[in-house]
Homo-oligomer: A and B are copies of this chain.
Amino acid sequence: MREVLDRIGDKWTVLVISTLGDRALRYSDLLASIPGISQRMLTLTLKALERDGLLVRQAYAEMPPRVEYELTDLGRSLQEAVLQLAQWAAGNHGAVASNRALHDRIGVGRAKSAAGGSRPAE
């Protein structure tokens, strides 16, 4: 459990995994598709993922050079689990937001049930 967190706990890892669907993407594609990520973080994240066998790096000796990254079967299996979280987020971030707003407005103590705010969507 602790191990998965040292792997997933890093947000960039999750973003790369979820961005990399079933298709292979180039370095520059990933850089553009993940808003806010820096070259440094993308490179480090890709290396770590390749090291763990979650994705493979394919370099083509062309001009200009082209490098593609693609999830392995192992990586895709992790992606599925990650997608569960994404779906949860999509379905419940509204409830979370309203709970937060209520909690902040009322102050600590009385935020018991925000009109179904604490009930999951899915």
Question: Which chain A residues have a beta carbon within 8 Å of chain B's beta carbons?
Answer: 1-11, 14-15, 18, 36, 50-54, 56, 72-78, 81-82, 84-90, 92-93, 95-96, 99-100, 103-104, 111-112, 114, 117-122
Contacts of A84 in B (CB 8 A): 81, 84-85
- How many copies of this chain sit in the oligomeric assembly? 2
Residue of B nearest to A75 (CB): B118
Contact B92 A88 (CB under 8 A): no
Task: Pull 24 A–B residue pairs with CB atoms less than 8 Å apart, ordered by A.
Answer: A1-B18, A1-B89, A2-B36, A4-B85, A4-B89, A5-B11, A7-B96, A9-B9, A9-B10, A9-B14, A51-B99, A51-B104, A53-B96, A53-B111, A53-B114, A53-B117, A53-B118, A73-B119, A74-B95, A74-B99, A74-B118, A77-B122, A78-B88, A84-B85
